[in-house]
Amino acid sequence: MLNSYDKRLDLPSPDIPIRPAGSTPEIEGVGAGTVTARRAVAQLAEQRWLVLLFAVILLTLSFIYRLPWEAGAAALLTAAAGAALIPRTITKQVTSKVIAEPQPPEPLHIAALVIDALPEPAILLSRDGTILSSNGKACDLFGGLRPGSHISSATRTPQVLDAVMDCGPEKAQRTVTFSERVPVERHMAATVSYLEGVPFRLLFLRDLTEQRRLDQLRSDFIANASHEIKTPLASLLGFIETLQGAARHDDAARDRFLPIMAKQAERMARLIDNLMSLSRVEMRAHLKPRDVVVISELVRHTCDALEPMACEANIGVQVHSELDGVQVLGDHDELTQVFINLVHNAIKYGRPDGKVVVTLERQQSGASSVIAISIEDDGPGIAAQHLPRLTERFYRVPGSAALEKGGTGLGLAIVKHVVNRHRGELRISSKVGAGTKFTVLLAEHIPIQATS
């Protein structure tokens, strides 16, 4: 052990002579003794306060208990010799090893670090349900999480509390699902795990709200699509069966039924086309379009294409734009479909002998400018409670002309998805009796040459 201490601490002080390389053994022995003596004197001087304290204690004991002075002197000499001769580096080395020896971390500290790194809400509980630790996600989910309080102070859901109390060596893991209505509707799955060897239980939570919503949307979509396709198909089958049976030779019935059959077939074909268009847009929703489109030209061509329909309904379409040549990044065909749907709806559901006004203008949005394309009609308008649902698939305002005129309920859903893919915004405003206004906001594309 004496050979293991740091020899740098025992180097002689600068005033002690160092033996030259060619010294004789006799001189070497004398020099070594001198070095040792000086080191002992220096160490004794360094420890003088300890020796002085020991001397005071001995004098006090000798005075109180009348100890022989020879014994006190021997003890004092022994203490002084020890202070001078025992190398301090041995004590330092042993002390430093004891101090540097790392203490093993507590299991609670390790578990707290683990749950803090989890991406989902997690709570560490004692076996009686007391909260020991929690991560940031759990604190965001439950407002009343405080270490030392019971889990019932954060959630009073019976399924969760029963799972916490029932979890044990026999039931090492329990998973339950529950729903909360306030402050917002939320569906959660809670898994309580019994941790072997430590007095903890882990409560792990997963948010199922988005998954439930997607499942509901998928179910509603299938039900609505089936219903929308089944209705014209049943009508076609009924007319065909009638023409093949009792009305086989009835020319008047055939002339009356054939236009209705053609209308139903067109509705079914339009519905299938809209479903396919919506599917294509959704598949490419994550890909931002990169083509340069002159938006004013596209809107004018769209209005020109719908001019025959507007003339048939005796509705005037007016285009007001001072942004000739303005560009946006987008997909030409998808943007054409957006404005065909919006202008078509404005003509279809607008007031007879009315007008549709299409306006293009530039607006500031923070540090960048956006192009606002508005399509406004003077029709009957839409009640405010229906506006948030207009872009849902197959949604049509109850009692509106959309049901009478054979709308599929997919046109605005396609508009919303296309605008979202272009990283734009769709705004809808309406007032009953005063018409409806749809506004599409798209980021303006400024060419690099114009910027420089």
Cα(225)–Cα(351) distance, rounded to whole angstroms?
30
Residue 210 DSSP class = H
CA dist 166 and 190 (Å) reads 14
Tell me what pLDDT residue 406 has: 60
Name the nearest CA neighbour of 296 among 329, 321, 330: 321
CA 24 to each of CA 30, 31, 33, 36, 391: distance values in angstroms, whole numbers, following the listed order: 10, 11, 14, 18, 105
The token pair that represents 19 in the structure block? 């033996």
293-308: b or e for each residue (b if 16 or more CB lie within 10 Å)? Answer: bbbbebbbebbeebee
Instruction: Give per-residue pLDDT as tens, 298-334.
Output: 999 999 999 988 898 889 999 998 888 889 999 999 9
Domains of the chain: 2-100 (no CATH), 107-207 (3.30.450.20), 211-282 (1.10.287.130), 288-451 (3.30.565.10)
- Residues (pLDDT < 70) of the chain are 1-33, 35-36, 44, 49, 65, 67, 72, 82-105, 144, 183, 399-407, 448-452
> Contact, 302 vs 340, CB < 8 A?
yes
User: Of the candidates 207, 176, 178, which has an alpha carbon nearest to the alpha carbon of residue 192?
Assistant: 176
Nearest by Cα to 299 from 405, 197, 373, 193: 373
Structure confidence at residue 15 (pLDDT)? 45
Query: What is the secondary structure of 282-297 as a DSSP string?
Result: HHTTTS----EEEHHH
Phi then psi for residue 301, to 5 deg, are: -65, -35
- Write a three-state SS string for 40-83: HHHHHHHCHHHHHHHHHHHHHHHHHHCCCHHHHHHHHHHHHHHH
> What was the pLDDT predicted at 39?
73
Q: Is the pTM higher than 0.95?
A: no
Picking from 414, 424, 411, 425, the residue whose alpha carbon sits closest to that of residue 288 is: 424
